Each structure stands twice: as structure tokens, then as C-alpha cells.
Amino acid sequence: MAGDAEATRRRLLDAAAREFAEHGIAGARVDRIAAEARSNKAQIYHYFTNKDGLFEAVMSELANDTMSQAPIDATDLPGYAGRLFDRFVDDPVKERLAKWYRLEGEGYAAVEVVVASTRDKIAAITKAQEDGLVSTRYSPVELLALVVHLASLWSAVTPEVGAHIEAIPLERRREVVVDAVAALLRD
């Protein structure tokens, strides 16, 4: 019976990730999530309290997964940007979730694991700067913001630029991200 409960919870999380990625937080519908998960709305409320709780669970899972697959090394921020780039290329649903979180997340409760992860990344960059291992040209917050946004550079361009991206090989797009972060660190 516990296996069934965990399987239901997993299906709900997977369906919710796809729904939130497609429609955003405000546009997502629990009835569509429940139907795709072969469950019902009551199960969503049982496991996650409400749609916001479900979104928080999805984002917490995304953050934990990203931290394990693309851990920060404050002394190798170009490498970190490359790992983030890889992460988003490997799973476009996760990249879209991150976009929606940036677009709509301010009006929702902070996802604690994202808050803690951000705090830890800023602390790691601060320490690397204090140890003289990373340029102090930018503050730790500025540097983290630049790295994260450069990692998602290619998915954030205008449609006019996007129409030409396919002509640039994936390896070259990654190289541009890594090189750009490396350039930021030069004094």
C-alpha cells in the first residue's frame, strides 16, 4: 500500500512539473494535473495541501536535483555555468519551470530549498573572493546572477534571434556560455 501511495505522489509531481512548465503557476489547473496523473484532485490536496504546495514540491525537487547534478564550485564558475547549461539542455521541462518561477514566483511563498541554495551559493562565492580565488569585480550576488543567466542565455533570446540558434552547434553554444563567464572573472 505504501508503494501505491508513493507511486501516486510521484505521478502527481511529474504531471505537475509538465503542467507548470506548460502553463505557468497561475495557468496550471489541478484538474488537468490529476487527470494526467491518473488520480484525483483530492489526492493533490492530501499530499500537497493546495496548488501552491504542489508547486513548492515541484520546485524543491527541481532545486535538489539541480544541486546534485550541477553543484556549484565557486572556484570554477565557468564550469558551473557549463553544468547548468547542460542541465537545462538535458531537460527542457526543468528549464521552463525555472523560467516560470522567475516570472511568477514573486507572488508565491518562497521555496525554502531555493532560498537556502541561493544563500549557500552566495556564501561560497564570497569565501572564494575573500580567499583571493575569484575576481571581486562583481559582488557575490551580481556574479551569481550573471552566471545563472548566462547559463540559460540561449533559451532567453528574442524569437528573432532564436530563429537562428539551430545553426549554432550545441557544443558551441555551451562554449560561448563558459567563455562568457570566464571573461567576467578576468580583472
Q: What is the CATH number of the domain that holds 103?
A: 1.10.357.10
Domain span holding position 133: 51-184
**CA atoms of 171 and 169, how far apart (whole Å):** 5
Report residue 108: phi and psi, to 5°: -115, 165
2 in a structural domain: no
What pLDDT shows up at residue 180? 97
110 in a structural domain: yes
Summarised one tens digit per residue, pLDDT across range 41-76 is: 999 999 999 998 999 899 889 888 888 889 999 999
Summarised one tens digit per residue, pLDDT across range 113-131 is: 888 899 999 999 999 999 9
Query: What mean pLDDT is predicted for residues 18-47?
Result: 93
pLDDT at 178 over 80: yes
Number of domains the chain is built from: 1
Distances (CA, A) of 50 to 29, 60, 112, 114, 144: 11, 15, 17, 19, 32
1 in a structural domain: no
pLDDT above 90: percentage of residues in the chain: 65
Burial class (CB in 10 A: 0-12, 13-18, 19+), 182: middle
